[in-house]
Amino acid sequence: MGEIAINQTVFRAVLSQADSTRSTLEGIKPVKITLQQPPDLKSMREQLEIVGKLQNTLKLYSALLDADLRKLEQLGNEMVQQDDHIGQSFHRLEN
């Protein structure tokens, strides 16, 4: 009979890589703007508002991604436990 199992090493490596990517997103700093000409204040206000919204969106995305990664990690751990439980049950049936 074949074995159904989760490869914990690969699973944790993928989660770690995704978490590292999420951390990189948090480290993104806004670009400093230098002006060559007198600025159009209305346009600058609009652009700053858009940049602020983008920063808030990135923070929200990072938080949601973090929550998803924690949930995936928990599900992976539960799968491993369930796999062990099923394996033990089959082992008892075979003996």
Could you report the per-residue pLDDT of 81-90, keeping only the tens digit for each? Answer: 888 888 888 7
- pTM (predicted TM-score): 0.64
Asked if 15 contacts 69 with a C-beta cutoff of 8 angstroms, the reply is: yes
pLDDT digits (tens, 9 = 90+) for 13-43: 998 998 888 888 877 777 676 666 666 788 8
Kindly compute the dihedral angle of the four CA atoms of residues 58, 61, 63, 68, in this order, to the nearest 10 degrees: -160
Two tokens, residue 28: 């993104």
Q: What is the mean pLDDT of residues 35-61?
A: 84
| 8 Å CB contact between 29 and 59 | no
